Structure 1
């Protein structure tokens, strides 16, 4: 596809009404720079943000995907982990056929280039294959969003995530809660994607050193709302709830102990074990769960605001009341 302008305008998104997709879609629309099209199944009844165009598709008919993506400059894929494993491949194939230059694959989380972390958490290889497939086809370039765990979802999601149970006021503190990780809110990720896709595609000339999409070609963008440990989270929880340490039952373990017990549970068929090992591995002392300390963050480049930790702790506590663990 030949570009006659130095910015992207037509953006397609899968999962526009989903947990993170709706924040990305709303942030894109807010810029006023993009025409956003939701790629939606023919039988979908998902509620979509106002102002979004809709393209109905049949994943068993590749031509419908190609038709929906023709003329698009970016494909953003946000999908539930329960989605069919071949769905993303079908989208990538269709994007290549349609000549879509940029793909943001279903790549939200830790540092995608950290092969050791990816191996230990058993999710690295699954993500690599999609990035490699995009590069193999040679028609599109990918950009991954390294944002860490979702803060609200993780804090409010029970002890197997950030260690908190708000109903029973219990906390499992790993290594005294001092290990720092990067964690991001849903709105911050939405703003990051919208800001990224509002950059120029390429430099204006050879002397132009300002940020552009080509800087991130086949690379991740590193963002974070907060660089914090469990103790920082706990301090926020105490402030927000008006409780004191004596109101909580705090137990202690090392992150490695939690990781190993999670592995054992998962080997025995418990999905709870996967969540435990996934989160605990990121809290290892010196872990690349704090990728910002190693790779740096793109927050300033993207103009992302500083957020109020307590505000999103409140959101997490509210979410905990209805969340299914």
Structure 2
């Protein structure tokens, strides 16, 4: 494709208008979908299994598909400009590839692959958490099929992780206990679910290409086969704890606090996973990101200013995380039932 809008065909529109999304009702997919809807610039088509009972936001078009019948997926993706994939880690391992293959057959130029998290340029972190090689394979497959990708590096989802129990940021709100990794002072980049949604919507609302050689505005094309970096906060566990105490009106005396060595905790999580306990993945993942000598602070690369992302309130975000605890507990109970 020529690199300027002026060189395109007469019917070329220099905007992304038609967006397909997988997981539009999911944890991150819902926030991306809502943010895209708020722009008023996009027609959003959600791919959904016929058996799915998830309620989707008003204004979203729904295309029922069978992921085992490629023709249904290709038909749903025809005419779309970008496919956004958001899937739970429990999805069948070959689903991502099936979607990408179908997108190529449908003629979609761009894909946002699954994997909203760590800095893809931190190869060692990716290898240690076992997420990096798979995510790279996903991006390589997109390129091999003649499409281009944009991925999102946002660090951990702050509100979701805070609510997720002791294996994540160390908080157990039911027991009012906290496990602190090392001294609790290592900082990581984190992003709220809403900030991730806003960032994706901002990128997809940019012009696709520069108008001509004189156009110096930022465009979608600048992010192709690259990462969008963003953050809400750069926090240590101690920073989080101070916010939690403010929001809950508690003091240190109200909490049971223990300390663990991050590297020991990582090794324990890895051993538990190798023994078949997949639930230990969170323990491994979060401990590794807080290594004193190799954490996941990607704030120096963040595109927040470029994308005009808002400054957020830490305590409001902490409250949103605490409010999520009950929501996630109900979800677990439904699955168990």
TM-score range, shorter chain: over 0.9
Could you say which residue in structure 1 is the equivalent of 2:190? 183
- Name stretches of at least 5 consecutive residues in structure 1 with no aligned partner: none
| CA distance in 2 between partners of 1:169 and 1:43 (Å) | 39
CA RMSD of aligned residues (A): 1.5
Query: Where does 1:102-181 land on structure 2 (aligned, <5 Å)?
Result: 102-138=110-146, 140-181=147-188
Could you say which residue in structure 2 is the equivalent of 1:192? 199
Query: Where does 1:1-325 land on structure 2 (aligned, <5 Å)?
Result: 4-138=12-146, 140-293=147-300, 296-324=301-329
Is the contact made by 2:262 and 2:291 (CA closer than 8 Å) also made in structure 1?
yes
Aligned length: 322
Is the contact made by 1:38 and 1:55 (CA closer than 8 Å) also made in structure 2?
yes
Give structure 1 regions of 4+ aligned residues with deviation exceeding 6 angstroms: none
Is the contact made by 2:186 and 2:295 (CA closer than 8 Å) also made in structure 1?
no
TM-score where L is the length of structure 1:
0.95
Is the contact made by 1:160 and 1:272 (CA closer than 8 Å) also made in structure 2?
no
Task: Give deviations 1:166-220, integer Å, cap 9, x for gaps.
Answer: 1111111112111110111111111111001001111122232221111111111
| CA distance in 1 between partners of 2:160 and 2:38 (Å) | 24
Task: Give deviations 1:9-42, integer Å, cap 9, x for gaps.
Answer: 0001111111111111111011011111111112
TM-score where L is the length of structure 2:
0.92
- Alpha-carbon distance, 1:269 to partner: 2.2
Moved more, 145-154 or 251-260: 251-260
| CA distance in 1 between partners of 2:42 and 2:276 (Å) | 45
| CA distance in 2 between partners of 1:258 and 1:60 (Å) | 39
| CA distance in 1 between partners of 2:66 and 2:256 (Å) | 51
| CA distance in 1 between partners of 2:127 and 2:149 (Å) | 21
- Alpha-carbon distance, 1:322 to partner: 4.4
Task: Give deviations 1:202-242, integer Å, cap 9, x for gaps.
Answer: 11222322211111111111011111110100000110111
- Alpha-carbon distance, 1:288 to partner: 4.1
| CA distance in 2 between partners of 1:188 and 1:125 (Å) | 26
| CA distance in 1 between partners of 2:152 and 2:69 (Å) | 29
- Name stretches of at least 5 consecutive residues in structure 2 with no aligned partner: 2-8, 333-337
| CA distance in 2 between partners of 1:8 and 1:280 (Å) | 39
Moved more, 265-274 or 113-122: 265-274
Is the contact made by 1:179 and 1:286 (CA closer than 8 Å) also made in structure 2?
no
